Structure 1
Amino acid sequence: MASPSPLKIVIVGGSLSALMQAITLHQQGHTIQILEQSPTPTPPSHMAGVSIGPDVLAFLSRYDRVSHIPLGIPATQLQTVDHAGQPQPFLRIQRTMTSWDALYFRLRANYDGLASDYIPNPPGALPTFPDESPSEAQARARYDYGQRVIDISEIPSTGKLAIVTESTTSNNNTKIITTHTADLVLGADGPRSIVRQLFLPPSPQSATTTTTTNNENHRKYAGYLAWRGIIHESQVPPTTLSLFSSNMTYNIRKHPTHGSHIIVYHIPGPNGSIAPGTRYLNLCWYQNVAEEDLPTLMTDIHGVRHHTTVPRGLVPARIWDSQRTLAKRVIDFPEPYMELLRMIDAPFLHLITDYPPMGKTWFLDVRIRRRCMRG
């Protein structure tokens, strides 16, 4: 349904939530510009597993115009595997298991018509207005990469906003500064949000923690992190593979200092293939870790300390070897999980953080107090 008053909307950040907002608003007739700071046209492959729940399925049923291409693999039950190697089902479910990449490229195909190995022939833009051509509709959907937002301000007497970006694609030290205008700005720029930095006051606790700085407003380490990896199913012995087929398989291990929760499920293989023999097993191991241990774990093979994610291939071998030893001797995961952990040579590591609820909101230096409206 077309909006009676179409707006120019800038969305800061170009990941999954940004794209879902962009698709929804574009089909209402608004002009959308996504500003993504990544210096490449598409982000590096995440190959992280994603469980598609009812809300996203409802979104896709309404907006996905490439639904004839399978998105993922059905999972029909939650189960665990005991120390005897036997599955123990405990809940019937209906979930679609996919990968971050498969969902991202599907959303791009529906938003700005990006062709990819996942969606080779994306549909043309869908006009919203009776007299709008597909090319005019396409012009209302922009995805501008290499644009880091550094400031947002009001343009006096216009009711519009100025969004200032610096380029991240320059080959030299000179940054190209660009000013964009919009009627509305949406922040979808992830855990180190520039929007949060601009519109929320610094956290008084930020100077006293090792994982939060004054530029990362109110973000706190949640007390655990995630080790993630994928294994091509052709490498997995058939007996082990059969345990994890068509299921989400959990195991929770209680421990005073290393409490853990591991989950395994299938995700699409390269280019979104869901044919048996071409898929991946996705493993995610959530582990409680003391904050003082993070500097060692979050430092990569080049000595670089990462804030949120140590990418695949950059986790030091000695760190991963130590983790697998811990998984066997201390946490005591059952053998099917250990078998998969031994097969993962290049995990990536993700720090889990939370944003505590805010009592006040700031907008253009004006504090807004939340009030409960009663009828």
Structure 2
Amino acid sequence: MSSTNSTQRPIVILGAGIIGLTTAVRILESPLYQEEKIPIHIIADHLPNDPLDPKYASTIAGAHHLSFADDEDVNQTKWDKRTFHVMYNEWKNEGEKTGLMVLKQTELFVKHNQHLKIYEDHPDFQVIEPDQLPKGIDHSVNFTSLTMTPFTYLNRLLDRISALSNGQVMIHRHHLPSLSSLSHPSITAMIGEIPPLAIVVCVGIGAITLGQVEDQTVFPTRGQVVKVKAPWIRSGFTRQVGELNGGEGGERTYVIPRPDGEVILGGTRELNDWYPYPREETTKDILKRVLEICPDLCPKYKIAPSALAPEQDIEKLHITEDNLPDSDTDPTSPLEELVIQTLVGFRPSRKGGIRLERGKDLVLGRDHGKQDKTIVVHNYGHGGAGWQSCWGTAEDAVEILIKSM
């Protein structure tokens, strides 16, 4: 891609995950770009089509719209609602080729009997009557929600960025050690000699080590998931044990189907755990837990013949926890042959939640003596909420940017 006007000060977006790319789209759609065609550069360690990397959580995420915004958290609620609205309209207009799948989502609660109020804003919301609750469940609701296929959705964002800019946005694979490195010759060779007009920091877990940011309130929340092929699953399930506590508290087991027939099974929430490889014992635990909330994951031919009445058609069999293969006599999970991949990702969590604000301006001096200030806007620290809040935070980041001009 070629650059736009080399005499203009560019906007630089750091990071090319779901946060960086949605922010880029909203900048391109804003009057700031539409009127002035400011050059835009995206600089990132990792891009959507690269091999999977735990530090690039966007492609490893389960990726469903399931808010954990506390009832009193006005900002998180706003961001999550806005993102659902944007994605739901995308699905309505273009269907599952977007990578989005609309489905019935069932939430199962253990050891508490309240749901988040934000769920009540979803279409088709209902509370399950106490006499209809599954065994061991204290409260349950269901509603219409969304899941996402990250690879598909991220690539559509790349295409959208190209279309909105007529191919003029430049994307660079480069590790930036610090914000001040933008004045280094290795970077000016890519973005030009003129100091950037603004930098939008969307680096996720990279905020820990990025110079002039070095946010020590950011930490990894390790998540391990199992990807299986189970195209007969078209509904989502989550079991929450304990309180969310206004974030990702408690233990969560989830089943997240995607339009292509893949299903993400999870999960774990391991704070400050940098181990990048799957743990076998965790995989076995996940495969056991998901069958407790979604027995239909088990292929019907795996049901023992003794579970069927002589005249019963296996195709009409309703699988329950009671007729699943006995895990005590057969330690092999009936789901093992469905497994495609086991994945590990580091959610970019942050004490205090998402950082979405204007930072301290930079002065990036050049040999020609110009000392123009560079605006810094931060948009990172989404933890496990990146996919469910991305459009909301992108729009607020752009609003901050425009007001800072």
TM-score normalised by L of structure 2: 0.51
User: Is 2:128 the counterpart of 1:108?
Assistant: no
Residue 323 of structure 1 is matched in structure 2 by 282
Distance 1:339 1:20, change over 3 A: same
- Report the counterpart of residue 216 of structure 2 in structure 1: 217
| Aligned-partner residue type, residue 240 of structure 2 | I
Q: 1:231 to 1:89 in 2, by over 3 A?
A: farther
8 A Cα contact 1:150 1:166, kept in partner: no
Q: What is the aligned partner in structure 1 of residue 148 from structure 2?
A: 98
User: Is 2:41 the counterpart of 1:33?
Assistant: yes
Q: Find the aligned partners of 2:27 and 2:256 in 1 and give their Cα distance.
A: 33
**Amino acid of the structure 1 residue aligned with 2:21:** L
Q: What is the deviation of 1:32? A: 1.6
What corresponds to 1:130 in structure 2? none
**Measured at CA, do residues 326 and 42 of structure 1 come closer, stay the same or move farther in structure 2, by a change above 3 Å?**
closer
Match of 2:49 among 42, 60, 77: 42
The secondary structure found in structure 2 opposite 1:349 is strand
Change (3 A) 1:85 1:139: same
What CA RMSD, in Å, does the superposition of the two structures yield over aligned residues? 4.7
Conserved in 2, the CA contact under 8 Å of 1:231 and 1:343? Answer: yes
Determine what percentage of the aligned residue pairs are the same residue. 11
Q: What secondary structure sits across from 2:24 in the alignment?
A: helix
Check if 1:252 corresponds to 2:240.
yes
> Number of residues paired by the alignment?
262
AA at the equivalent of 2:151: D
CA 1:264/1:164 → structure 2, altered by over 3 Å: closer, same or farther? farther
Say whether 1:267 aligns with 2:258: yes
Contact 2:107–2:240, Cα closer than 8 Å, also in 1: no
2:227 counterpart SS class: strand
Partner of 1:55: 82
Contact 1:148 1:165 in 2 (8 A): no
> Could you list the per-position Cα deviations for residues 26-47 of structure 1 after superposition, in whole angstroms to 9, with x for gaps in the alignment?
1232432111223x78333535
Q: Which runs of 5+ in 1 are unaligned?
A: 1-5, 113-124, 127-136, 154-160, 168-175, 201-214, 235-240, 270-278, 299-309, 367-375
Give the C-alpha shift of residue 72 in structure 1. Answer: 2.0
Alignment map for 1:167-182 (pairs within 5 Å):
180=192, 181-182=195-196
Paired AA for residue 74 in structure 1: V
1:56 Cα deviation after fit: 2.7
- The TM-score with structure 1 as length reference comes to 0.54
Distance 1:61 1:33 in 2: 29
Aligned to 1:230: 227
Considering Cα pairs closer than 8 Å and 6+ residues apart, tell me whether 1 or 2 has the greater RCO. Answer: 2
Aligned-residue offset at 1:328: 8.3
For residues 293-317 of structure 1, what are the alpha-carbon distances to aligned partners after superposition, in whole Å with 9 as ceiling and x for unaligned? x47xx1xxxxxxxxxxx2xxx53xx
CA 1:20–1:192: 2 relative to 1, 3 Å: same
User: Which structure shows the bigger proportion of residues in helix conformation?
Assistant: 2
Structure 2 unaligned regions, length at least 5 = 1-7, 53-58, 66-79, 111-132, 243-249, 298-332, 364-372, 374-405
* Equivalent residue, structure 2, for 1:186: 200
Going by fraction, where is strand more abundant, 1 or 2? 1
**CA distance in structure 2 between the aligned counterparts of 1:149 and 1:187, rounded to whole angstroms:** 11
Partner secondary structure for residue 150 of structure 1? coil
In 2, the alpha carbon distance for the partners of 1:287 and 1:280 equals: 22
Q: Which residue among 69, 90, 94 is the counterpart of 1:67?
A: 94
Determine the C-alpha separation between the residues in 2 that align with 1:342 and 1:285. 19
Q: How far is the alpha carbon of 1:164 from its aligned partner? A: 3.7
2:342 equivalent among 342, 347, 352: 347
Q: How much has 1:18 moved relative to structure 2?
A: 1.2
Residue in 1 aligned with 2:115? none
In structure 2, what is the Cα distance between the partners aligned to 1:109 and 1:26? 13
How far is 1:334 from its partner?
A: 6.0
Whichever residue aligns with residue 35 of structure 1, its letter is: I
